[in-house]
Structure 1
């Protein structure tokens, strides 16, 4: 059964609820703006985009598109409007987090243009948190949540097919959006989970357990493979270059099956130990995270590198091969969903977006392909839930207004004029004020 609303979330709603609707005009119009609709790689110049409530209702040439007299007008001269971004492998703040920390994490996502979020680690109370965020009581991206993970490890392990079947039915009844797969599941348990998921109509995504393997996960219709999990193992490319023939075969299997891939490139370099610690410690966005958490990231990474079993050469080989795999997937027509796996291990919510996108470009993707993975592809993936992902009439009014064209340089995503979140306009001045508050709170002496 769906758990009753925890007292913590009641406090959160009462403390941080924002007067969204009373202060927001019914209609907003972006005028004289260049639009990146993201249906194809194009820029529509001198456009007017009219938003009423949480929907885009009109898009057309500014010279001919009518704007209601009572609409708030936002001058888009010299600016670029594109759909809000999706984070398809994120994590809600962990169980036991303070109301303030929960508010901060969701604001960090929104302040960087993330308007849709797929949470990949469920815990009690998240369904109620989803309701609070999606209703606008808490400022945050639209939440779509996986339930508590199916893992073969630790005290929460699912160890039998019967337990897997029961757990799938339970999570479906509770209202989770999908199931999350973690490492360690035995194949018979995984198969029971997959079979029952098909029966009750809930999808499953995440890791590829070793006992399952990439091909079998595809055969059982795992919807997304996150972190490119299982690909390096399938290719036998942990300590050697990628075999081109095997790579082509793998790409064909993934494309033909319709399996979606979520790369999380920089985060995985941290996980495997190929990233350099000093540059990560210099990330300016660390000022928005609790100092104790950053210290845990640092000491955890140092322990990883000090492990006698750690091989720097192996880590570098895997990192290099992952870039080759990602480029081949895109070239071969496999659909990519954008994700960064924030917050964790130097992946700061929202700020991880540009780092991930830059890593994708370094792997050989074009800025348009990367942006498509975070907009149109996300909307296609979640089309049964809502209509969004394009700048087009009828789509949810999740929008990002920039001062420069990200199709030219992906780093232009950092040059924001503001974010529209389900029809609520958040100018950059408001976003920066919120970020400054978070930074000040993290810099304050611990209580």
Structure 2
């Protein structure tokens, strides 16, 4: 109960500070700063924020700040907000947990930016409310309702739909699957012409290499690379195309750790934050996960042996892909 009380106090502070930051000058006084360009912590700093933007960071002294809200942050740390670049927003309340609770949990965890990758027609209005400070939530980037192989559209219909999505405020086009190579070529051409980026699931095989140079801006789940043996020239070419065309990757490896039974249910239950969820929702989640992991263990019998997790080659391949793509991060 004590931890939950602190959590709600923290959310209240976030609400007050975020509304204050957008309007005036706020000083975080005597705070330890965690910068992103060095591993060293900068102790005893004053961070001055004006109208939501950091103006100065300087050592704490006898600094005077007129007409500013000064927050005594001694003994605390300040760092840039985290970003979750692949979320699916909850579309309805379930057991007392809905969109507002989803946003609150992310803010409480220090996540200040979300990228929604399962778009809905209501998202532009939601983004507007967040941008105007009328809804407490992380900054939100939105992809359009996804394209898939089930929905074949003519070139004219695709053009009208892409223009509609862009004018509505969607910032990305999400591709789940494609009905044909010709259709994908048409979509990429329209996206370039309308100046809106493609993201999502990458097509496999020959089309994957083509997609890397055809306008896809971000690949989800490291899709496409898994069909390429790492020690073959095709993989090296894919890496070069990825870097040359500045294609981003959103690995979502944690999902694969769960999907391929690289994480036991007990370890999932111990994850921080689950105690913030409604009891009925946790019970439903627990039963669903037990059934799901049992099913996956039958599909991948070598990946889970009692409580000892064995390495899955599919997951290991994705980890190796990351090392080859971004060696400086390992």
TM-score by length of 1: 0.61
Question: How much does 1:284 deviate?
Answer: 4.7
* Bigger-Rg structure (1/2): 2
* Aligned residue in 2 for 1:140: 137
| Aligned positions of 1:376-391 closer than 5 A | none
| Aligned positions of 1:263-342 closer than 5 A | 263-289=251-277, 290-291=281-282, 292-307=284-299, 310=300, 312=302, 316-331=312-327
Q: Which runs of 4+ in 1 moved over 6 A?
A: none
Is the 1:50–1:56 Cα contact (8 Å) retained in structure 2? yes
Cα 1:276–1:212 change in 2 (3 A) is farther
Question: How much does 1:323 deviate?
Answer: 1.4
Structure 1 unmatched runs, 5+? 1-17, 236-241, 333-364, 367-447
Cα 1:192–1:327 change in 2 (3 A) is same
Aligned-residue CA RMSD (Å): 3.1
Query: 1: CA distance between counterparts of 2:17 and 2:60?
Result: 27
Cα 1:318–1:61 change in 2 (3 A) is same
Cα 1:97–1:232 change in 2 (3 A) is same
* Aligned residue in 1 for 2:3: none
Q: SS of 2:326's equivalent?
A: helix
Query: 1: CA distance between counterparts of 2:221 and 2:214?
Result: 18
Is the 2:29–2:71 Cα contact (8 Å) retained in structure 1? yes
Are 1:262 and 2:250 an aligned pair?
yes
Q: SS of 2:273's equivalent?
A: helix
* Aligned residue in 1 for 2:4: none
| Aligned positions of 1:389-400 closer than 5 A | none
* Selected match of 2:210 from 206, 216, 230: 216
Is the 1:150–1:185 Cα contact (8 Å) retained in structure 2? no
* Selected match of 1:48 from 18, 24, 46: 46
Cα 1:160–1:274 change in 2 (3 A) is farther
* Aligned residue in 1 for 2:164: 170
TM-score by length of 2: 0.80
Query: 1: CA distance between counterparts of 2:64 and 2:232?
Result: 55
* Selected match of 1:32 from 30, 33, 40: 30
Q: Which has the higher contact order (CA 8 A, sep 6+)?
A: 1
Query: 2: CA distance between counterparts of 1:246 and 1:295?
Result: 43
Q: SS of 1:232's equivalent?
A: helix
| Aligned positions of 1:400-411 closer than 5 A | none
Are 1:128 and 2:128 an aligned pair?
no
* Aligned residue in 2 for 1:200: 194
Deviation by residue 1:214-239 (Cα, 9 ceiling, x = unmatched): 2122111211111111111123xxxx
Q: SS of 2:228's equivalent?
A: helix
**Number of residue-to-residue matches in the alignment:** 305
Q: SS of 2:79's equivalent?
A: strand
Query: 2: CA distance between counterparts of 1:22 and 1:323?
Result: 37
Question: How much does 1:97 deviate?
Answer: 3.6
Query: 2: CA distance between counterparts of 1:216 and 1:128?
Result: 35
